[in-house]
Amino acid sequence: MKYVKEIFLKDRTFYLLGGIIALFLAAFAWPLVMYIAWGAFALFILGLASDVYQLFRFWRPIQITRDIGKHFSLSDENPVLIKMESSFPQALKVRLIDEIPIQFQTRDFEIYEEIEPAEEKVIRYELRPVKRGEYWFGKLNAFISTSVGLMERRIQFDLDTMVKVYPSFIQMRAFELMVFSADRSQLGIKRIRKLGHGYEFSDIRNYVIGDDPRTINWKASSRTNKLMVNNYQDERSQQIYAVINKSRVMRMPFNGLSLMDYAINSTLALQNIVLQNQDHAGLIVFSGKSETFLRAERKFNQRQRLLDILYNINEDQLEGNYQALYETIKKNIRGRSMLMLFTNFMSLTSLHRVLPILKQINRSHLLTLIFFENTELEAYIESEPETLLDVSSNVLAARLSNELTQVVYELRNAGIQAIQSKPEDLTANSINKYLELKSRGMI
């Protein structure tokens, strides 16, 4: 009974059986066809018997393993490797059905392969998760058949595995390479022309033509009888905080990801650059009722601490409490810091409600607001209206778009740095802003 459950007849079997039945029916009109029908039926039974013998002569004619790595990266294509090894003496056709996690909502996942005797084959497919959390892989079902192809044998491999989907560490590594590569200007990261020099002393070196005469160290020059200059570098060990608003305004989805997840991916990539740049990286997450605060440090495990906190963030249904955010900053942050605030505004009125608090924060720190451009709204405005209702909707959409553009000017008039970014460009724009503000010595 156990082996019966492993047998699955293929479409070819039913086509052949239907043809044999048609021959038996035709034999009522032409008796000689009866001999052909019985011959075909005998060959059919012989083929089935051959298939049963071939497929069940070995307990496991193939061995299969699945390699998915330790973690998945949010919103990226993550590879899944299936390794097959055949111990069967002839070629096999294999139909693989992997029980992928329910979050992907895939019901028709199949892979067709052929494997030769004693061959090892690696099959690769990719999955793109759009939610953080735990993803469970189930069994891997292999349906094998021979060249006769009348039936399949199902072999199940118990490969139940759980993988955690973390914020996009693939994107983090990619932007790290972009920022510190020689041709980064071609990859979305701008080259910032630095005006003047840093204020942190590095060393003393020989004067070369083109050096700023104001940096000449006259005492060192008198001792060595040649011109020496002070060498400066960008200030390091500065505090850079990513501040994430996890209230309901961040639940809006774009391309399968919420604004919250875009902000989380950008925060991880940005703070990795901050740590690589010898600055201190910190994190503040706020909403209407709960807050998370990670002090800006440069410890060896700071990146992992950031990753763990970002993995566990969930949006809530409340409005963002900016007053509580101001009190948290005032209580916990000592010294002037750069605050990169990821948030979203639905209208100019929503900005006016919190603008006085933002001004208070900006007096003590360098505040940069990073909010989202509604790309779907812009696409709707550019669409051609067909009815009177469409015309009125387009007018309202254009008015809302103008308000969101006005938000940028309101913030800049208040002395607050502001970026309005498309969700897909958020990471590059955030890193560019950090590098720009650092080069200008504004913190």
Amino acid residing at 220: A
Q: Which of 124, 128, 125, 123 is nearest to 77 (CA)?
A: 128
CA distances from 295 to 137, 242, 261, 306, 329 (A): 36, 11, 22, 10, 11
Distance of CA 373 to the CA centre of its chain: 20
- Residue 166 pairs in a beta bridge with 73
Please report which residue ranges of 154-301 form alpha helices under DSSP H.
169-179, 218-224, 259-276
Amino acid residing at 329: I
Amino acid residing at 81: L
pLDDT higher than threshold 80 for residue 111? yes
pLDDT higher than threshold 50 for residue 196? no
Q: Can you tell me the mean pLDDT for 99-126?
A: 90
Say if residue 334 is exposed, middle or buried (CB neighbours under 10 Å; 0-12, 13-18, 19+).
exposed
DSSP label at 365? S
Q: Tens of pLDDT along 235-275?
A: 567 899 999 999 888 888 888 888 899 999 999 999 999 99
Give the pLDDT confidence score for residue 138 in this predicted structure: 92
107 band by pLDDT with thresholds 50, 70 and 90: confident
Q: Which of 216, 235, 236 is nearest to 226 (CA)?
A: 216
Give the pLDDT confidence score for residue 54 in this predicted structure: 87
Q: Which of 177, 231, 234 is nearest to 206 (CA)?
A: 231
Q: Which distant-in-sequence residues (6+ apart) come within 8 Å of 107 by Cβ? A: none
Range from 48-52, 174-178, 378-382 carrying the lowest mean pLDDT: 378-382
CB 411 within 8 A of CB 351: yes
Give the pLDDT confidence score for residue 236 in this predicted structure: 63
* Element holding 369 (H helix, E strand): strand 366-372
Q: Tens of pLDDT along 279-313?
A: 999 999 998 776 889 999 988 899 999 999 999 88
Give me the residue label for tokens 């590879």. 79
DSSP label at 236? -
Percent of the chain, pLDDT > 90?
39
C-alpha span between 48 and 43 (Å, rounded): 9
C-alpha span between 427 and 103 (Å, rounded): 25
Q: Tens of pLDDT along 50-62?
A: 888 888 888 888 9
Q: Tens of pLDDT along 143-172?
A: 999 888 889 999 999 999 999 999 999 889
- SS3 per residue for 173-202: HHHHHHHCCCCHHHHCCCCCCCCCCCCEEE
Kind of pairing between the strands at 151-157 and 7-9: antiparallel
What would the two tokens of residue 78 be?
A: 């993550």
Q: Which of 118, 126, 4 is nearest to 63 (CA)?
A: 118
Domains and CATH numbers, the chain: 1-166 (2.60.40.10), 169-193+235-439 (3.40.50.410), 200-233 (no CATH)
pTM of this structure: 0.78
Give the pLDDT confidence score for residue 193 in this predicted structure: 47
Q: Which distant-in-sequence residues (6+ apart) come within 8 Å of 159 by Cβ? A: 64, 65, 66, 137, 138, 139, 140
* Element holding 120 (H helix, E strand): strand 120-127
C-alpha span between 418 and 432 (Å, rounded): 12
Q: Can you tell me the mean pLDDT for 303-330?
A: 89
349 band by pLDDT with thresholds 50, 70 and 90: confident
Distance of CA 78 to the CA centre of its chain: 9
Amino acid residing at 24: F
Percent of the chain, pLDDT > 70?
92
Backbone angles phi, psi at 281, to 5 degrees: -105, 130
186 band by pLDDT with thresholds 50, 70 and 90: very low
Q: Tens of pLDDT along 199-237?
A: 555 567 787 877 777 778 888 788 888 888 876 655 567
